[in-house]
Structure 1
Amino acid sequence: MNDRQAIREFLRTRRARIAPESAGFPTGGDRRRVPGLRREEVAERAGVSVDYYTKLERGTLDGASDAVLGSIARVLRLDDAEGEYLFNLFGKAGRQQQSAVPDSVTPVVRHLLDAAASVPAIVVNRRMDIIAGNELGWAFVYPLEPTLIGPANVSRFVFCDGRARSFYGDWAEVADDNAAHLRRESARYPQDASLAALIDELMDGNEEFRRRWREHNVRRNYSGAKSFTHPVAGLLELGYVNVELGDPGLFLTTFVPEPGSRSEHGLRLLASWWATEHTEAADTDLTQQATNPR
């Protein structure tokens, strides 16, 4: 999808969700051909001509000012994430340099992950590849296995792996958030071919993703709570915090249980299981090396 189409569909869907009466446009029984606000009503509230707004919504207008885009965002009641997305679509401040998708973390981030040993912590890039984690983090995302395509990817797991619906307590919310994250990143990094390829892959193969992508929702989730049913630890109810790191397009997520809760006990069980599994794997490797020396 090019920016012009993205602009058109995003603004159209944002207009459609606003009741005319709430914006001060009484319908008086008038039959409206479109849901929500009309183009001329948005133009009136934003202080621009209908022709100007029509060109802007079609994506055929170059040089829209920050002031105009700010007025449009106000009229359409865009939140911070949606406003950033709108500005990015028009090539304004906020677009990131077109660096390669990170596939590793710095030593400082590595030390930070290890320091948070008592809670699961992972790092994903803008494509939602899991590129780093502490021991408990890798145990937590154990169901998200790497594939022949590349590293474990949260988006592929959510939309393409049937186990995701039982892993996440509210799969639909997770799917909504995931599509909204990719939508935001696609505007921040419009020339990222690998990100575009992932989106195309999901669009081609999954109706659940296609439907959510066409809704043009954009979100930034910094904290909240989610429940999971882990194949080893069972039910885990965890708070989470997302932090965008200084490295371009990297996000650190930590999952925290309530102190003394069943979920805290479940994470201790998970940590013990992971340590045992890795100890046994290491012992097996040493035995094989001793039996078959090079």
Structure 2
Amino acid sequence: MDSSNEIREFLATRRARITPQQAGMATYGRRRVPGLRREEVAMLAGVSTDYYARLERGNLTGVSDSVLDAIAVALRLDEAEHAHLRDLARTANTTSRTRGRRPAAREVRASVRRILDGMTEVPAIVMNERLDLLEANRLGRALYLPVFADPARPVNLARFCFLDPQARTIYPNWDEAANTTVAMLRTEAGRNPFDRDLSDLIGELSTRSDIFRNRWAAHNVRLHRAGTKTFHHPVVGELTFAFEVMALSADTGLTLTAYTPEPASASHDGLALLASWAATQDQLDPQTSRPAEH
């Protein structure tokens, strides 16, 4: 991806969303641009207009952390956006000799699989940063049943979200799921812009989905750590879970996500029904008890 273009569009889109009133600035006369002007951001950040204009043209070479922090404050960046700006600056200051970040893992170690299998009361999955769904426990496989129906391995949650018509049924809040998916991929693209598999995935989705391409152009980013998610499962109906995302620090880019329902809720009862159904399916066809080998 073009580093300068990424920087330029990210800063421009963040600047366009902030009104002078939000920034505590007086306005006079007619304004021709949405949001703040470049000189206004420069003033808020304590740098010259020419210097900020250079940054927004996509040149972050040599920029200090203190300047990045000042720009983050001026543009009211949240934690994910601030981290993304730092990632873009790191890429701009990276030479070809220092690009060797290890790619996201594609394999799940046996010990991690045993941990998954030991989690018998909650759905749990392991993903990498490209949203390849690499492993799942019994309830995780049952929860993501329509995703695993794709014979290709590893299955990918971004492809499912934007290219599989079932996704709009499985995710009742599809717009939110789509926005989160794009923001997660955009975050990873800033963190690891030299990942060829990630670039290929983004190119594929941009070519095959206008909806993805339009969302990608918004340059939104997100740190995906915890929250709630609702599924409409084809067997047991609607399920709402709290989820926690935990990094597997020994495995580059891998995370374990566990889903838990509220006690004594309809989703808690639905999960019990899903567990019973999954156990029955395993007895009928043991071959479906684990995703196919990668």
TM-score, length-scaled by structure 2: 0.91
Task: Tell whether 2:125 aligns with 1:126.
Answer: no
Q: Match for 1:110 among 104, 110, 113?
A: 113
AA at the equivalent of 1:256: T
Aligned residues: 282
Whole-Å separation in 2 of the counterparts to 1:110 and 1:148: 21
The equivalent position to 1:150 in structure 2, one of 148, 153, 156, is 153
Residue 65 in structure 1 maps to residue 68 in structure 2: no
Greater mean alpha carbon deviation, residues 131-140 or residues 108-117: 108-117
Alignment match, 1:258: 262
- SS of 1:144 mapped into structure 2: helix
Q: Which amino acid aligns with 1:204?
A: T
Q: 1:86 Cα shift? A: 0.3
Q: CA deviation at 1:148?
A: 5.9
Q: What is the TM-score with the length of structure 1 in the denominator? A: 0.91
Query: In the alignment, is residue 166 of structure 1 matched against residue 165 of structure 2?
Result: no
How many angstroms does 1:149 deviate by? 5.1
Query: Alignment RMSD, CA only?
Result: 2.0
Once residues 144 and 287 of structure 2 are traced to their aligned partners in structure 1, the CA distance between those partners, rounded to angstroms, is 23
State how far apart, in whole Å, the 1-side matches of 2:241 and 2:66 are: 41
Q: Which has the larger radius of gyration?
A: 1
Aligned to 2:30, what secondary structure does the other structure show? coil
Alpha-carbon shift at residue 25 of structure 1 (Å): 2.0
Q: Name the structure 2 match of 1:219.
A: 222
The corresponding residue for 1:238 is 241
| Cα distance in 2, alignment partners of residues 60 and 128 from structure 1 | 30
Which residue number in structure 1 is paired with residue 292 of structure 2? none
Aligned to 1:6: 6
Q: 1:159/1:259 Cα in 2 relative to 1: closer, same or farther (>3 Å)? A: same
Name the % identity.
48
Shift of 1:61: 4.2
Cα separation, 2, equivalents of 1:167 and 1:186: 26
Contact 2:99 2:194 in 1 (8 A): no
1:42–1:35 distance in 2 versus 1, CA, 3 Å: same
| Equivalent position SS for 2:244 | strand
1:33 aligns to 2:59 (yes or no): no
CA distance in 1, matches of 2:105, 2:111: 15
Q: Secondary structure at the match of 2:272?
A: helix
Unaligned runs of 5+ in 1: 285-294
CA-CA distance at 1:146 after TM superposition: 5.8
